[in-house]
Chains A and B, each alone.
Chain A
């Protein structure tokens, strides 16, 4: 089985994962979309595979889906944030996290304000976190997808497929 056939299902799963994880009303559903992207990729891969797919393949596919999905999230959510909160989306959200903590001394608030101004750093660390997180849950999704959709037993021969071309001419 070749690795190239993994790319298309992984891309489809990653786009679903990335878009749904970035949209504000839907992104509160924890890791559901990341697992869902992995499951979809596994379903597409199993459907097109002539041989039974192993859980190991599901892990590889899920890792790939999660990795690409994290990049899709970054590409999709940054412009979306700028659109929803022009100017200060990420700062507002980090401020919200800070507000969750009661009794924060003013010096800490000041220091935090300086930290939030370093947007490039925040985005870079955020991307690393998402790559790590999505790869892990993507892997879980790919494995779950193979477990759900692979109904053939390992070692079973692939189904017979008639040859694509015309039959060879009879010997003279």
Chain B
């Protein structure tokens, strides 16, 4: 069926995933941009939608033209990483189950430590640590998702139907 062997993922497959992630990144940047250009209604609708997925604390968000981005430092890193990861060929995803688990651990652990350690009082995170751990998480997880999405596209129900019809046509 599908192989986990090294296969080049087509640019169209990468683009299908990159477009929605890119759209989210554009919306995040558009919110302060529109607010600074007097389009307050659209800006507040964008801020409102991202309110559902992020705490939006201004002190923990990047500023653009005096307005905070629609999500925090960490979320900005995650979304940007998910977008960038669509174009990065990561050979680790083609490895066995153990390599993939290691990849997920490398993605999650720095982010988890950065988010949870301040609660213990041992360490305080900063802008760079929040953004970079989010970015690392996004890039690594996105490379895994792109690989899975390529497999999904190979074995999508409509492709199976086409194969079935071709086979039926060959037999008759």
Binding site for B on A (CB under 8 A): 3, 21, 27-28, 30-31, 54-60, 93-94, 96-98, 100-102, 104-105, 108-109, 111-112, 115, 125-126, 129-130, 132-133, 136, 139-140, 142-144, 146-148, 150-154
Q: Within 8 Å CB of A150, what residues of B?
A: 97
Known: A30-B74, A31-B53, A150-B97. A59 touches B47 (CB 8 A): no
Nearest-Cβ distance from residue A125 to partner chain B, whole angstroms: 8
A59 touches B3 (CB 8 A): no
| A135 (CB) vs chain B CBs: closest residue | B20
In contact, A56 and B2 (Cβ under 8 angstroms): yes
Chain A, residue nearest B72 (CB):
A30
Are the C-beta atoms of A30 and B44 separated by less than 8 Å? no
Known: A30-B55, A31-B75, A101-B43. 5 other contacts (CB 8 A): A30-B75, A54-B2, A59-B149, A144-B144, A154-B4
Tell me the interface secondary structure of chain A in the complex: helix
C-beta contact mask, B86-118 vs A, less than 8 Å → 1, else 0?
Answer: 000000010011001101100000000000000
A100 and B40 contact, Cβ closer than 8 Å, known pairs A129-B49, A140-B141, A154-B3: no
Residue of A nearest to B58 (CB): A100
Contact B67 A101 (CB under 8 A): yes
How many residue pairs link A and B with beta carbons under 8 A? The number is: 132
Q: Which residues of B44-102 have CB atoms within 8 Å of chain A's CB atoms?
A: 44-45, 47-49, 51-56, 58, 66-68, 71-72, 74-75, 78, 82, 93, 96-97, 100-101
Given A56-B148, A153-B96, A108-B53 contact (CB < 8 Å): no
6 A-B residue pairs with Cβ-Cβ distance under 8 Å, sorted by A, are: A3-B157, A21-B52, A30-B72, A104-B40, A115-B41, A129-B49
Q: Is the CB of A143 within 8 A of B40?
A: no
| Residue B147 is within 8 A (CB to CB) of chain A in the complex | yes
* A129 vs B23: C-alpha distance when bound (angstroms): 12
Instruction: Determine if A130 and B52 form an interchain contact, defined as CB atoms under 8 angstroms apart.
Output: yes
